[in-house]
Amino acid sequence: MQSYKIGEKLEPVNMSSYKKTDFQFVMVLSGEEWKEHNAEFDMGIEWEFNNQHINSTRAEVNYDSITGKFLILDRNKVSAPPKQFAFSLDEKGIIFIDDEGLAGRTVEKIAQSKKLVNPCLERFLYDFLEQLISDDAGMLNRYDKQLDDIENRIFSGNTETVLEEIAQIRNDLRDLKLHYAEMIDVCQEFEENENHFFKEENERYFRLVTQRIQRLYERVITLVEFTIQLRDLNQTKTDEKQNKNLAFLTVISTIFMPLTLIVGWYGMNFRYMPEFEYRWSYPILIAVCILIVIGSIFVFKKKKML
Protein backbone atom coordinates (compact mmCIF):
# COMPACT_ATOMS: atom_id res chain seq x y z
CA MET A 1 0.00 0.00 0.00
CA GLN A 2 1.35 3.44 -0.97
CA SER A 3 -0.13 6.62 0.54
CA TYR A 4 0.78 10.19 -0.35
CA LYS A 5 -0.32 13.66 0.71
CA ILE A 6 -0.70 16.07 -2.19
CA GLY A 7 1.52 19.06 -1.40
CA GLU A 8 4.25 20.86 -3.27
CA LYS A 9 5.54 17.35 -3.72
CA LEU A 10 3.80 14.04 -3.09
CA GLU A 11 4.70 13.28 0.52
CA PRO A 12 4.57 9.66 1.70
CA VAL A 13 2.24 9.40 4.70
CA ASN A 14 0.79 6.75 6.99
CA MET A 15 -2.97 7.09 6.73
CA SER A 16 -4.67 5.61 9.77
CA SER A 17 -8.03 7.09 8.85
CA TYR A 18 -9.44 7.60 5.39
CA LYS A 19 -12.64 9.46 6.25
CA LYS A 20 -11.24 12.29 8.34
CA THR A 21 -8.26 13.43 6.31
CA ASP A 22 -7.84 17.19 6.07
CA PHE A 23 -5.73 16.98 2.91
CA GLN A 24 -6.06 15.55 -0.55
CA PHE A 25 -4.35 12.19 -0.97
CA VAL A 26 -3.18 9.60 -3.46
CA MET A 27 -3.23 5.90 -2.65
CA VAL A 28 -2.14 2.80 -4.54
CA LEU A 29 -3.63 -0.51 -3.40
CA SER A 30 -3.52 -4.04 -4.70
CA GLY A 31 -6.78 -5.79 -5.54
CA GLU A 32 -6.64 -7.75 -2.29
CA GLU A 33 -5.97 -4.58 -0.24
CA TRP A 34 -8.94 -2.89 -1.90
CA LYS A 35 -11.23 -5.79 -1.00
CA GLU A 36 -9.97 -5.61 2.59
CA HIS A 37 -10.26 -1.82 3.08
CA ASN A 38 -12.87 -0.59 0.58
CA ALA A 39 -15.53 -0.25 3.31
CA GLU A 40 -13.32 2.31 5.06
CA PHE A 41 -13.44 4.73 2.13
CA ASP A 42 -16.30 7.18 2.26
CA MET A 43 -16.95 7.38 -1.47
CA GLY A 44 -20.60 6.46 -1.53
CA ILE A 45 -20.20 3.41 -3.75
CA GLU A 46 -20.09 -0.33 -3.62
CA TRP A 47 -17.61 -1.21 -6.32
CA GLU A 48 -16.02 -4.61 -6.81
CA PHE A 49 -12.66 -4.55 -8.53
CA ASN A 50 -11.78 -7.36 -10.91
CA ASN A 51 -8.73 -6.79 -13.07
CA GLN A 52 -9.72 -9.69 -15.33
CA HIS A 53 -12.65 -7.64 -16.67
CA ILE A 54 -10.68 -4.55 -17.71
CA ASN A 55 -11.06 -4.40 -21.49
CA SER A 56 -10.99 -0.65 -22.15
CA THR A 57 -10.05 2.71 -20.71
CA ARG A 58 -13.09 4.52 -19.35
CA ALA A 59 -14.48 6.63 -16.49
CA GLU A 60 -17.94 6.48 -14.94
CA VAL A 61 -19.58 9.22 -12.88
CA ASN A 62 -21.33 7.86 -9.79
CA TYR A 63 -23.43 9.61 -7.15
CA ASP A 64 -20.48 10.52 -4.94
CA SER A 65 -17.40 9.40 -6.86
CA ILE A 66 -15.80 8.83 -10.24
CA THR A 67 -14.61 5.31 -10.93
CA GLY A 68 -12.82 3.98 -13.94
CA LYS A 69 -10.27 1.71 -15.49
CA PHE A 70 -7.14 2.15 -17.55
CA LEU A 71 -5.84 -0.25 -20.18
CA ILE A 72 -2.34 1.00 -21.05
CA LEU A 73 -0.58 -0.28 -24.17
CA ASP A 74 3.10 -1.20 -24.03
CA ARG A 75 4.86 1.66 -25.83
CA ASN A 76 7.80 -0.59 -26.80
CA LYS A 77 5.56 -3.30 -28.25
CA VAL A 78 1.97 -2.21 -28.79
CA SER A 79 0.85 -5.73 -29.70
CA ALA A 80 2.01 -7.07 -26.30
CA PRO A 81 -0.59 -7.61 -23.53
CA PRO A 82 -1.49 -4.19 -22.04
CA LYS A 83 -1.04 -3.12 -18.42
CA GLN A 84 -4.23 -2.44 -16.49
CA PHE A 85 -5.40 -0.80 -13.30
CA ALA A 86 -8.53 0.85 -11.89
CA PHE A 87 -9.22 3.99 -9.90
CA SER A 88 -11.82 5.65 -7.71
CA LEU A 89 -11.78 9.33 -6.78
CA ASP A 90 -13.76 12.09 -5.11
CA GLU A 91 -12.89 15.57 -3.87
CA LYS A 92 -10.69 14.11 -1.10
CA GLY A 93 -8.31 12.16 -3.29
CA ILE A 94 -7.79 9.28 -5.65
CA ILE A 95 -7.25 5.56 -5.05
CA PHE A 96 -5.56 3.36 -7.65
CA ILE A 97 -6.19 -0.39 -7.55
CA ASP A 98 -3.20 -1.92 -9.30
CA ASP A 99 -1.94 -5.51 -9.32
CA GLU A 100 0.61 -5.01 -12.10
CA GLY A 101 2.57 -2.08 -10.69
CA LEU A 102 2.18 0.48 -13.48
CA ALA A 103 0.08 2.97 -11.51
CA GLY A 104 2.37 2.56 -8.47
CA ARG A 105 5.53 3.20 -10.50
CA THR A 106 3.96 6.23 -12.17
CA VAL A 107 2.90 7.76 -8.84
CA GLU A 108 6.32 7.06 -7.37
CA LYS A 109 8.00 8.71 -10.35
CA ILE A 110 5.86 11.83 -9.86
CA ALA A 111 6.68 11.83 -6.14
CA GLN A 112 10.41 11.72 -6.86
CA SER A 113 10.63 14.15 -9.76
CA LYS A 114 7.68 16.57 -9.75
CA LYS A 115 7.23 19.73 -7.72
CA LEU A 116 3.65 20.95 -7.99
CA VAL A 117 3.31 24.70 -8.52
CA ASN A 118 -0.38 24.50 -7.67
CA PRO A 119 -0.76 21.53 -5.29
CA CYS A 120 -4.17 19.98 -5.87
CA LEU A 121 -5.81 16.78 -7.05
CA GLU A 122 -6.41 18.26 -10.50
CA ARG A 123 -2.72 19.05 -10.97
CA PHE A 124 -1.76 15.54 -9.83
CA LEU A 125 -4.17 13.98 -12.34
CA TYR A 126 -2.67 16.18 -15.04
CA ASP A 127 0.85 14.98 -14.16
CA PHE A 128 -0.32 11.36 -13.94
CA LEU A 129 -1.96 11.43 -17.39
CA GLU A 130 1.07 13.25 -18.81
CA GLN A 131 3.33 10.50 -17.49
CA LEU A 132 1.22 7.85 -19.22
CA ILE A 133 1.80 9.49 -22.62
CA SER A 134 5.23 11.03 -21.97
CA ASP A 135 7.09 8.77 -24.45
CA ASP A 136 4.40 8.66 -27.10
CA ALA A 137 5.84 11.35 -29.37
CA GLY A 138 9.08 9.36 -29.62
CA MET A 139 7.12 6.16 -30.25
CA LEU A 140 5.20 7.77 -33.13
CA ASN A 141 8.51 9.11 -34.51
CA ARG A 142 9.77 5.52 -34.65
CA TYR A 143 6.70 4.46 -36.61
CA ASP A 144 7.25 7.42 -38.95
CA LYS A 145 10.85 6.35 -39.61
CA GLN A 146 9.79 2.75 -40.18
CA LEU A 147 7.26 3.90 -42.78
CA ASP A 148 9.88 6.13 -44.45
CA ASP A 149 12.22 3.12 -44.63
CA ILE A 150 9.45 1.00 -46.15
CA GLU A 151 8.77 3.73 -48.73
CA ASN A 152 12.46 3.80 -49.75
CA ARG A 153 12.49 0.01 -50.07
CA ILE A 154 9.39 0.09 -52.26
CA PHE A 155 11.05 2.59 -54.62
CA SER A 156 14.22 0.46 -54.71
CA GLY A 157 12.18 -2.64 -55.57
CA ASN A 158 12.88 -4.50 -52.30
CA THR A 159 9.28 -5.37 -51.45
CA GLU A 160 9.61 -8.92 -50.17
CA THR A 161 8.20 -8.35 -46.64
CA VAL A 162 6.65 -4.92 -47.13
CA LEU A 163 2.98 -5.93 -46.93
CA GLU A 164 3.50 -7.87 -43.67
CA GLU A 165 5.31 -4.92 -42.07
CA ILE A 166 2.66 -2.44 -43.19
CA ALA A 167 -0.08 -4.70 -41.81
CA GLN A 168 1.66 -4.96 -38.42
CA ILE A 169 2.15 -1.20 -38.19
CA ARG A 170 -1.48 -0.59 -39.17
CA ASN A 171 -2.64 -2.97 -36.43
CA ASP A 172 -0.52 -1.13 -33.86
CA LEU A 173 -1.78 2.26 -35.03
CA ARG A 174 -5.38 1.04 -34.92
CA ASP A 175 -4.90 0.00 -31.27
CA LEU A 176 -3.25 3.33 -30.45
CA LYS A 177 -6.06 5.24 -32.14
CA LEU A 178 -8.66 3.47 -30.00
CA HIS A 179 -6.50 3.94 -26.89
CA TYR A 180 -6.18 7.70 -27.41
CA ALA A 181 -9.89 8.06 -28.15
CA GLU A 182 -10.71 6.34 -24.85
CA MET A 183 -8.22 8.49 -22.92
CA ILE A 184 -9.77 11.62 -24.42
CA ASP A 185 -13.17 10.43 -23.18
CA VAL A 186 -11.75 9.99 -19.65
CA CYS A 187 -10.23 13.49 -19.66
CA GLN A 188 -13.50 14.95 -20.88
CA GLU A 189 -15.36 13.19 -18.05
CA PHE A 190 -12.98 14.88 -15.60
CA GLU A 191 -13.38 18.24 -17.32
CA GLU A 192 -17.18 17.89 -17.26
CA ASN A 193 -16.89 17.91 -13.44
CA GLU A 194 -20.45 16.72 -12.99
CA ASN A 195 -20.00 16.07 -9.25
CA HIS A 196 -18.08 19.33 -8.70
CA PHE A 197 -15.08 17.52 -7.24
CA PHE A 198 -12.69 19.88 -9.01
CA LYS A 199 -12.27 23.62 -8.74
CA GLU A 200 -13.49 25.44 -11.81
CA GLU A 201 -10.20 27.30 -12.28
CA ASN A 202 -8.34 23.97 -12.28
CA GLU A 203 -10.38 22.37 -15.04
CA ARG A 204 -7.86 23.84 -17.49
CA TYR A 205 -5.45 21.04 -16.56
CA PHE A 206 -7.81 18.52 -18.12
CA ARG A 207 -8.20 20.68 -21.22
CA LEU A 208 -4.42 20.84 -21.60
CA VAL A 209 -3.88 17.10 -21.39
CA THR A 210 -6.90 16.48 -23.65
CA GLN A 211 -5.36 18.74 -26.29
CA ARG A 212 -2.08 16.89 -26.09
CA ILE A 213 -3.74 13.49 -26.45
CA GLN A 214 -5.84 14.90 -29.31
CA ARG A 215 -2.64 15.88 -31.14
CA LEU A 216 -1.29 12.35 -30.69
CA TYR A 217 -4.62 10.96 -31.94
CA GLU A 218 -4.47 13.14 -35.06
CA ARG A 219 -0.88 12.12 -35.71
CA VAL A 220 -1.88 8.46 -35.51
CA ILE A 221 -4.61 9.12 -38.11
CA THR A 222 -1.96 10.72 -40.37
CA LEU A 223 0.28 7.66 -39.99
CA VAL A 224 -2.66 5.34 -40.77
CA GLU A 225 -3.27 7.30 -43.97
CA PHE A 226 0.45 6.97 -44.77
CA THR A 227 0.23 3.18 -44.44
CA ILE A 228 -2.69 3.17 -46.89
CA GLN A 229 -0.65 5.25 -49.35
CA LEU A 230 2.33 2.90 -48.98
CA ARG A 231 0.13 -0.14 -49.57
CA ASP A 232 -1.25 1.47 -52.74
CA LEU A 233 2.27 2.49 -53.81
CA ASN A 234 3.50 -1.06 -53.30
CA GLN A 235 0.61 -2.40 -55.37
CA THR A 236 1.38 0.14 -58.12
CA LYS A 237 5.05 -0.86 -58.18
CA THR A 238 4.10 -4.54 -58.24
CA ASP A 239 1.73 -3.91 -61.16
CA GLU A 240 4.45 -1.96 -62.98
CA LYS A 241 6.89 -4.83 -62.50
CA GLN A 242 4.34 -7.35 -63.75
CA ASN A 243 3.53 -5.13 -66.73
CA LYS A 244 7.23 -4.85 -67.59
CA ASN A 245 7.64 -8.61 -67.39
CA LEU A 246 4.55 -9.11 -69.54
CA ALA A 247 5.80 -6.53 -72.07
CA PHE A 248 9.20 -8.26 -72.22
CA LEU A 249 7.58 -11.64 -72.83
CA THR A 250 5.37 -10.07 -75.51
CA VAL A 251 8.41 -8.59 -77.27
CA ILE A 252 10.27 -11.92 -77.16
CA SER A 253 7.21 -13.68 -78.57
CA THR A 254 6.92 -11.06 -81.32
CA ILE A 255 10.61 -11.46 -82.25
CA PHE A 256 10.35 -15.22 -82.63
CA MET A 257 6.91 -15.26 -84.29
CA PRO A 258 8.35 -14.89 -87.85
CA LEU A 259 10.79 -17.69 -87.09
CA THR A 260 7.88 -19.87 -85.99
CA LEU A 261 6.16 -19.07 -89.29
CA ILE A 262 9.28 -20.08 -91.23
CA VAL A 263 9.60 -23.33 -89.27
CA GLY A 264 5.94 -24.11 -89.92
CA TRP A 265 6.24 -23.18 -93.59
CA TYR A 266 9.18 -25.42 -94.32
CA GLY A 267 7.86 -28.13 -92.08
CA MET A 268 5.14 -28.83 -94.66
CA ASN A 269 7.69 -30.85 -96.74
CA PHE A 270 5.93 -30.49 -100.09
CA ARG A 271 7.66 -32.54 -102.79
CA TYR A 272 8.27 -29.75 -105.29
CA MET A 273 9.52 -27.03 -102.92
CA PRO A 274 12.56 -25.77 -104.94
CA GLU A 275 14.52 -24.72 -101.81
CA PHE A 276 15.01 -28.38 -100.87
CA GLU A 277 17.29 -28.93 -103.88
CA TYR A 278 19.20 -25.65 -103.65
CA ARG A 279 22.67 -25.99 -102.08
CA TRP A 280 22.59 -22.64 -100.19
CA SER A 281 19.02 -22.88 -98.90
CA TYR A 282 19.99 -23.79 -95.33
CA PRO A 283 22.66 -21.07 -94.83
CA ILE A 284 20.41 -18.46 -96.46
CA LEU A 285 17.52 -19.43 -94.16
CA ILE A 286 19.81 -19.14 -91.14
CA ALA A 287 20.95 -15.71 -92.28
CA VAL A 288 17.32 -14.59 -92.84
CA CYS A 289 16.36 -15.74 -89.32
CA ILE A 290 19.33 -13.89 -87.80
CA LEU A 291 18.44 -10.72 -89.74
CA ILE A 292 14.82 -10.98 -88.57
CA VAL A 293 15.91 -11.28 -84.93
CA ILE A 294 18.46 -8.43 -85.19
CA GLY A 295 15.97 -6.20 -87.03
CA SER A 296 13.23 -6.88 -84.48
CA ILE A 297 15.56 -6.14 -81.57
CA PHE A 298 16.68 -2.88 -83.26
CA VAL A 299 13.06 -1.78 -83.78
CA PHE A 300 12.03 -2.60 -80.20
CA LYS A 301 15.15 -0.89 -78.81
CA LYS A 302 14.33 2.24 -80.81
CA LYS A 303 10.78 2.23 -79.41
CA LYS A 304 12.25 1.67 -75.90
CA MET A 305 10.35 -1.54 -75.44
CA LEU A 306 13.55 -3.45 -74.65
pLDDT band at 51 (very low <50, low <70, confident <90, very high): low
Residue type at position 102? L
Share of the chain above pLDDT 70, in %: 93
* 237 vs 21, residue with greater confidence: 237
pLDDT at position 18, please? 61
Of 132, 148, 173, which closes a domain?
Answer: 132
* Mean predicted confidence (pLDDT) in 166-188: 94
Q: How far is CA 19 from CA 38, 61, 90, 269, in A?
A: 12, 20, 12, 112
Q: What is the CATH number of the domain that holds 267?
A: 1.20.58.340
Residues 137-146 pLDDT 10s? 999 999 999 9
Asked if residue 200 belongs to a domain, the reply is no
Q: Is residue 187 part of a domain?
A: no
Among 113-117, 194-198, 212-216, the range of highest mean pLDDT:
212-216
Q: Which of 142, 139, 170 is nearest to 232 (CA)?
A: 170
With respect to residue 231, please indicate whether it lies within any of the assigned structural domains: no
Chain segment 274-305, per-residue pLDDT in tens: 777 777 878 888 888 888 888 888 887 777 77
Mean pLDDT calculated for residue range 231-248? 81
Instruction: Give a yes or no: residue 172 inside a domain.
Output: no
| Enclosing domain of residue 60 | 1-132
- How many structural domains compose the chain? 2
How far apart CA 224 and CA 111 sit, in angstroms, is 36
Residue 198 counted as domain residue:
no
Task: Output 66 or 281, whichever has higher pLDDT.
Answer: 66
